[in-house]
Structure 1
Amino acid sequence: AAANIDAPLVRLADGRTPWQIFRDEKIIGNSRIDPCSKILKRKLSERWLKENRDPATTALVFGIDWTEKHRFDDGEGRGVKN
């Protein structure tokens, strides 16, 4: 897919699993708190972006496939119906 949009594919990892994050943070993630998503996704990608690209001029592309329609927001705060 990256070749189709002429963009490099970047994979980031800090080497820990969600269970290791839970242990390190002394908390179990649930639907109200998301330590593994925050640490392994958002903070890691934000740090990489600041160190390697100009956030003001960089477009980020995230893939969501047909099995994840429930995660799509139509801009009005509504998800797409199946």
Structure 2
Amino acid sequence: MADINTTEARNETGTLDILHGCDEIARFLFNKDDTQHQRKVYRLHALDKRPRFPTFKMGGVLCARRAAIQKYIEDQENK
């Protein structure tokens, strides 16, 4: 298994850029992590259209990078 370079995975503030789990992704997107907003994250992940919502599975846990979500949102705003 390849080692993850944590210095590359950190954002400008020095915190890790990866969000682990629907609760963290929902808290980042909606500032709420209740079941309703976690389900919204699952639905965004399951959408089968391009561009796909930038999530991935790591060890069976849904994850995302903060920077990728922010870029996705900016791209959607510029359409």
TM-score by length of structure 1 reads 0.29
* Structure with more strand by fraction: 2
Larger radius of gyration: 1
Higher RCO (CA-CA < 8 Å; seq separation 6+): 2
